[in-house]
Each structure stands twice: as C-alpha cells, then as structure tokens.
A = this chain, B = another copy of it.
C-alpha cells in the first residue's frame, strides 16, 4: 500500500479509537514507524489528513445513496441504503463524535460538510420521490422534506445519543451493533408513511431490528 494511504488508514484508526483531539501527527508517524518528515511530505498538517479522510467518507456516503436508473426503487433498496450509511458512520465514527469542533477548526471542512449535507438530503429526496412514484410511501412533499431533515439528524446524532443518554447502560462503549440500532429509529420514523409492499414488510423488519437492539 502507498505510504499516503497507510497514513490515512492509520489516522482514521487512531482518530476512531482515541478521538481526533488526542492524536497528533507525531503519534500517527510513530505508529507507522515513519519519520514526521515523511508524514509531512504527504500531508502538511493534521487538518490535511482529516480533510482527506472526510472526502473519502463523503464519496462512500454519496455512492451508498445512488438510485438505480434501470429499475424502480424497492423498499428493501432503502433498507440497504441505511445499512450502508450506518456502516460508513461506524467506519468514520470520529467525524460525528466531535463534528462542531472539527468544523470550527477547518473552514474548508465546514464548507465541504455543508455541501455534503445538502447533496445527501437532495439525493435522499430523490430516493423518497422514487418510493412515492412506486407507491411504497404516501406522503406530501412537505412530509418528505421534514422527514428527511429528521432522518438526517437522527442518523448523524445517533452515536452521540447512545453515548450521552446512557440509554443502553451507564458505562456503554459504542459498538457497531449499537450504532446499527439507529436504523430501527429511522424505520420507526418512516413507518407512518409506508404503504403496499413496504407496509407489509414493516412488522418483520421492526421485529428484526428491535431484536438486534434488545440483544445489545
């Protein structure tokens, strides 16, 4: 693997495990057994590394939300979208743990994150519009727009909720399974608008994700 990619992978690993604040470029270099000079040859600063990691996060999120153009969107497609999204939230979990701080520190990250948020919500709108066309949800445009904002907030804030609320135990450590539990909340958020096949599948789906939650 190229040194540049090794730096990004190791940085992501350390940020996720220890929190971005407590990881310096020297930590990253030493845990890769490379010199700080070698690291600086590839990245001018930690902000450079964080920004590059964000671009990869953004790319994987946007690709996870692409609507098939050769066939109608199914409700299970959308569940698949959420599985993919929550996998990315897990892979890049340090980003949302301390987002306000990261955005304060980096104006270009702030701008890119905002474009990213608008892009994803616009793409989500296409997905729900396709589901409306496929008569899998019955909702007004206003319903869909406000639901997408609520889904965005619950999705991006779920990890913080798990950690701050103590809802899953006082000394909780964030696990991929606990993060995935957020999908249950999203399904509940959409449930009132479902119809047809989507509505028929709902009880099984809720049971499945609820169970995953109670296994926690």
Q: What residues of chain A have their CB less than 8 Å away from a CB belonging to chain B?
A: 97-101, 103, 111, 113-115, 117-118, 142-143, 146-147, 149-150, 152-154, 156-158, 160-161, 163-167, 170, 184-185, 188-189, 191-193, 206, 210
Contact = CB atoms under 8 A, between A and B. Distances in A.
Given A160-B99, A185-B146, A188-B147, A152 B165 contact: yes
A203 B185 CA distance: 26
A149 B142 CA distance: 22
A43 to B, nearest CB: 24
Contact of A100 (B98, B103, B206): B98
Contacts of A98: 100-101
Contacts of A193: 192
Given A100-B164, A164-B103, A192-B192, A114 B170 contact: yes
A133 to B, nearest CB: 20
Interface centre among A117, A164, A184 (most CB of B within 10 A): A164
A178 to B, nearest CB: 13
A39 B19 CA distance: 33
Given A150-B150, A188-B147, A163 B117 contact: no
A164 B121 CA distance: 14
B117 A165 contact: yes
Given A153-B157, A157-B160, A165 B114 contact: yes
